[in-house]
Structure 1
């Protein structure tokens, strides 16, 4: 009698392996995830060097490296209001070796149709880390002593006052346009690739007004710039003498929390390692001191809560796009 070469047990093992391969759960992949990281990690910052997000994210990555046991290489990818760096994160391999800061404005740009990625599908959100203190500043020799002075001149000269922001449809641009709408004024927007070069031009006299996160803080304290208003719900401790927009009578509050993410499809074991490292890095004295230095409140959220926040922001941005007619603004330059 001839013995059949068919072995039911062998067949079951082969089918099981095929099923694991289809779900990406082969033992080799699991082992790779467990050994993560075994080489340097690249962290993409979508803003120029010298800005507030750059300053805090550099400290964050140093602290992450301590807990991950591998260098976290910091790389600036500025441009398009943070979207060039965000696109690079979305397009990277989901292996945990490319992560970065994802501006919350991805929820706006995706709905404006100016980016080719989906913020709800193309990222693994790891943690929200900190917020920002936005403000409207002018040079100390400017004729505007108060926000009311600026509003009065803008009403008398529609479109003649230049203000700089970190880019078209970014948080500072949209926030300023929301304020202008509330104040019944029109100003001329000058977009930059980040807050740092806009600050340089304000100091050099090429701009009338700057709207930015607190890159201006040291210059306000040394008397080179004047802070007309901040945009948060409350006055920051270091600048209690400057009103918020709400204090000045405008129902506008603007914040843009910093978050860290990776490409979609990150292995769960790798995601867990990164989330743990981020949680510890945000809790470190070094990161908190870096945030305090630029008046950036620590606003930690782990992955689940952060993703919920992103979804809520997506809905909010849909309403804001319609309210400010942003698609038409972008179309008209």
Structure 2
């Protein structure tokens, strides 16, 4: 069942805890015991790294342990459900990614959680740009020349992804639609590594891939960087235009992680977590550590995150539907 979301729904959830806030404060200042942040991915990935940086900073600010609990599996569904069913007291949080929180609702017929009704948004954690890359010797060097080449080579032109339903796949489908390239063939791979190898070799004509994995190959001149998927230019690639400013205005595709709490968490607690998390995320140490991972530190308010998530669900839902995207 496809979810229909509304900003009002998010804001209503934020207000659920207003009546509970005073009671929570009366019981003692939050937090007065360890806090758990669930990551619905295995340890070692970019979201895990972000969460451990945030946990370390919050532990220092709060004087209470903030621990990371990795619950990977089932496209992020397992860990996400854990938090959806947790006690809404601020002691179990979720650092979720774009897939489990805004794409799965369109990819899977049934989910054991509702990304709007079961969670309160707290703060955006980070953004990881998707780089539009091509073989180093490709006969095109930017978005416009690739589109022209693809139209002239419609029978063979392709784009590769790191797997069905991945951000890499959805970005390619969005590009294909906006560029008017119905003949552009999708070639899925099992992970970024093999897809990059075949892009370097020229088997793949173009692909969208996270800066963390494809960026080093660009710097080593093994891949050609055509454009950046974020709305604004990336500070790490200041001379490279975005896809949007390269002839496809409005295009945006990137991965992100954000912090959520179970629905019903007191508003006063949500506000405290949001303020302290922003302070940690915007610290020089964390910003530098995330930059090393090809990521940009997040921030913002709960309300801003709610609007962003609503927009992401609607956008990728349309891409999944129009592109007949499946995870099979």
1:65 to 59, 62, 87: 59
> Who is 1:129 aligned against?
125
Q: C-alpha deviations, 1:94-149, integer Å up to 9, x for none? A: 23332122234423432453523111110121112332311123454x64653545
Correspondent of 1:46 among 37, 40, 47? 40
Unaligned runs of 5+ in 1: 1-22
Task: Give the distance between the partners of 1:90 and 1:172, measured in 2 at CA.
Answer: 27
- What's the offset of the Cα at 1:50? 4.8
Alignment of 1:1-333 (within 5 A): 34=29, 36-39=31-34, 41-105=35-99, 106-112=101-107, 113-138=109-134, 140=136, 143=138, 146-147=141-142, 148=145, 152=149, 156=153, 158=155, 161=158, 163-165=160-162, 167-183=163-179, 184=181, 185-190=183-188, 192=190, 197-198=191-192, 200-205=193-198, 208=204, 210-215=207-212, 216-251=214-249, 252-322=251-321, 325-326=322-323, 328-330=324-326, 333=328
TM normalised by structure 1 equals: 0.73
Q: Quote the Cα distance in structure 2 between the aligned partners of 1:295 and 1:172.
A: 16
C-alpha distance in 2, partners of 1:296/1:305? 19
Q: CA RMSD in A?
A: 3.5
Give the TM-score of the pair, scaled to structure 2.
Answer: 0.74
Cα distance between partner residues in 2 of 1:259 and 1:177: 24
Rounded Cα–Cα distance in structure 1 between residues aligned with 2:287 and 2:33: 28
Q: For residues 49 and 139 of structure 2, what CA distance do their matches in structure 1 show?
A: 30
Contact 2:37–2:51, Cα closer than 8 Å, also in 1:
no
Decide whether the 8 Å contact of 1:110 with 1:116 is kept in 2.
no
Structure 2, unpaired ranges of 5+: 1-18
Residues 33 and 168 of structure 1: CA distance in aligned 2, closer, same or farther (over 3 Å): farther
Larger Rg: 1
Question: For the residues of structure 2 that align with 1:64 and 1:220, how far apart are their CA atoms?
Answer: 35
Instruction: Give the number of equivalent residue pairs.
Output: 298
* Rounded Cα–Cα distance in structure 2 between residues aligned with 1:42 and 1:319: 34
